[in-house]
Structure 1
Amino acid sequence: MIALAIAQQTVREALRRRVMWIFLICGLFLISLGPVFGFLSPRDSQTVLRSLGLAAILLAGLFITIVTCIYLIPVEIERRTIYTVLSKPVQRYQFVLGKFLGGFATVFVNIALMGIVFLFMIWIQEHKVPTEMFQGVIMTFFQMMLLAALTIFFSTFATPVVNFFLSFGIFLVGNLSTVTESLTTNRNGVVRIVGNVVHYLLPNFGNFNIQNSIIHPTTEIANQNVYVAQNVIYAVVYSAVLLILAILIFDRREV
């Protein structure tokens, strides 16, 4: 209950950040332009709407997640409000967990809003909402949940600026899973070791990008429902590990 109370307060504080609203509005604006670009483009308008909508949700969600979560713990330390919180019957693990849940809820609301608008635009154009579109939004959501956990982990020992570049950098590298996988079979021993560390240790954000199979039917996944379920479990487990590490680090930190 204490963690939920902290999460509720965190959501209120996050919603006051104007930069988050800017990214949300930009994402919604890009999604709403899908039919326009589809009309102007010589390509299939359905493909344009799907690709632009999913890309807008991903990009807006990326920046909303990072900008929201990098400040959740450092701001409390900077304002010294953390002393007031921890002086109450609040354990440090409850504080970290509450901050994550608050950031997680904020990201969920934003992606849900963009997802609803996107699916509505799909329905207007196609007169139906394919299951694959729901899966695309769900995968983006869990991808951002994993990123939020990563950002919270770094926020326990890094400044917001350092956290931004670390989280953003790992997100980019994590989306290059095909490249890092190729390094694991490199003839050079050092490159192969580095490739294995990067490919298997860093979160694999690339597996959540199923846009190709959704937008281009020729690019197929053997069983998409199983694939989505596997990656959802992966995101939950990896996020839990990151939160445990964050709690352990924060528990030993002097604030």
Structure 2
Amino acid sequence: MGALTLLAQTQADAIQMPYRALMVGYAIFIPALLLLNYMTKSGVIARATTKEAIRQPVFLLMTALGLTVITINVWVPFFSLGDDTKMYIDCGLATVLICSLLHCVWTASVSVADEIEGKTAMTLLSKPINRRQFVFGKYIGIFQSALIMIAILGVVFFFLTYYKFHYDQKESAQEQTPLVYFRAVSWLPFQMPFMNRVYFEVARSILPGLTLIGMEVAVMTAVSVAISTRVPMMVNMIVCFAVFVIGNLSSVLVQSNVQNVFVRFFARLFATILPGLDHFNMSAAVSTGKIIPPEYIGLAGLYCLAYVAAMLMVGMWLFEDRDLA
């Protein structure tokens, strides 16, 4: 029996702490975001930016691409010797991350850099809104649009993970009898097992991974917004790509036994200045059924908040003396 099955059966007997901690975090984060949107001047810009970002073709394209890949992978054989569900979860989390990151970087370039270059930012700043509120509102709006994309992909990913585990168990003759099946209807080409706690626990195991992806997207959005206050879209996308690659490799180089002095020096320099994105990459742990401790998620959230605040201050400093005329 696979690791995911054993873990799911263990979790089915008791509610695990990571999920309680996540629910508490969501209950604090979502109302705070709503208050920020409707009780501050930056919230006005944030709401307008979110609506604009959702209407962009790149949002629809990335969402459709993510849904297509996640759906097709349900029936794609991974040839993993009985661990297809683990590979499916790993690929699904990577798909959500890539789609949301591409959307954020592109939208930050269009929403911030193009508005500055096109002089439309002057219209907003002529109202009782200062430059710091403009940058902060743009960041919140872009990040909110990414959260909407992650939520859409996450909901579909959850139910398809549920079905994928059932599908793999049935293919390997290890299926557990579900309590109820959805009745076959014209728009549903397959029967879906319902109310099976083991399948539910496997599907629920993607929540910590999706939460960490949201944190990584928050960090990269802050980097992109800060850079967009000074450089055009193409430069912003190249720099963000370099930050993403180096941010996932710098800590690995620091911990490795590389003897080259220059490599170790620059690895430590990049690990200090650039975000440690590998701290948010827990897809391998999630796909293999390991429980991510709530303490780790909490520390990752604090690190995300600190780095986002630092990058937004850098962006505000860069934008403070930017000539808009």
Tell whether the structures are fold-level matches, with TM greater than 0.5.
yes
Alignment partner for residue 222 of structure 2, among 132, 149, 160?
149
Paired with 1:104 and 1:250, the residues of 2 have a C-alpha distance of 19
- Match in the other structure for 1:250: 319
Residue 97 of structure 1 is matched in structure 2 by 136
Aligned-partner Cα distance in 2 for 1:75–1:200: 31
Higher relative contact order (CA 8 A, sep 6+): 2
Distance 1:175 1:21 in 2: 27
| Partner amino acid, structure 2, of 1:95 | F
1:31-83 CA distance string (max 9 Å, x none): 11232014876542312321221121112112112111122211212322111
Cα offset, 1:88, TM superposition = 1.2
Q: Which amino acid aligns with 1:196?
A: R
Moved over 6 A (4+): none
For residues 201 and 251 of structure 1, what CA distance do their matches in structure 2 show? 22
Question: Are the equivalent residues in 1 in contact too, given 2:250–2:270 (CA < 8 A)?
Answer: no
State the AA in 2 paired with 1:98: G
2:302 aligns with: 233
Q: 2:123 aligns with which of 84, 90, 99?
A: 84
Identity %: 28
Deviates more, 1:87-96 or 1:15-24: 15-24
AA paired with 1:192?
R
Q: 2:270 aligns with which of 194, 198, 206?
A: 198
Q: Check 1:242–1:39 CA distance in 2 against 1; reply closer, same or farther (3 A cut).
A: closer
Tell me which of 120, 145, 166 is aligned to 2:239.
166
Q: Please report the TM-score for the alignment, with normalisation by the length of structure 1.
A: 0.91
Q: 2:286, 2:122 → 1: CA distance?
A: 49
TM-superposed deviation, 1:229: 1.6
Task: Name the CA shift for 1:39/1:169 in 2 (closer, same or farther; >3 Å).
Answer: closer
Cα deviations by residue, 1:10-45 (Å, 9 ceiling, x for unpaired): 112112211221111000111112320148765423
Q: Spell out the pairing of 1:98-137 with structure 2 (5 A cutoff).
A: 98-126=137-165, 127-130=199-202, 131-137=204-210
Partner of 1:25: 64
2:75 maps to 36
Across the aligned residues of Structure 1 and Structure 2, the Cα RMSD in angstroms comes to: 2.0
Deviation of 1:249 after TM superposition, in Å, equals 1.2
What amino acid sits opposite 2:263 in the alignment? V
CA distance in 1, matches of 2:141, 2:240: 18
1:215 pairs with 270, 282, 287, which one?
Answer: 287
Unaligned runs of 5+ in 1: none
Per-residue Cα deviation, 1:167-211 (whole angstroms, up to 9, x for no partner): 11110111114433146x644443332121011211011111111
2:212 and 2:264 map into 1 onto residues whose CA distance is: 30
Mapped to 1, the partners of 2:224 and 2:274 lie a distance apart of: 13
Counting matched residue pairs gives 251
Alpha-carbon distance between aligned partners in 1 of 2:79 and 2:208, rounded to the nearest angstrom: 27
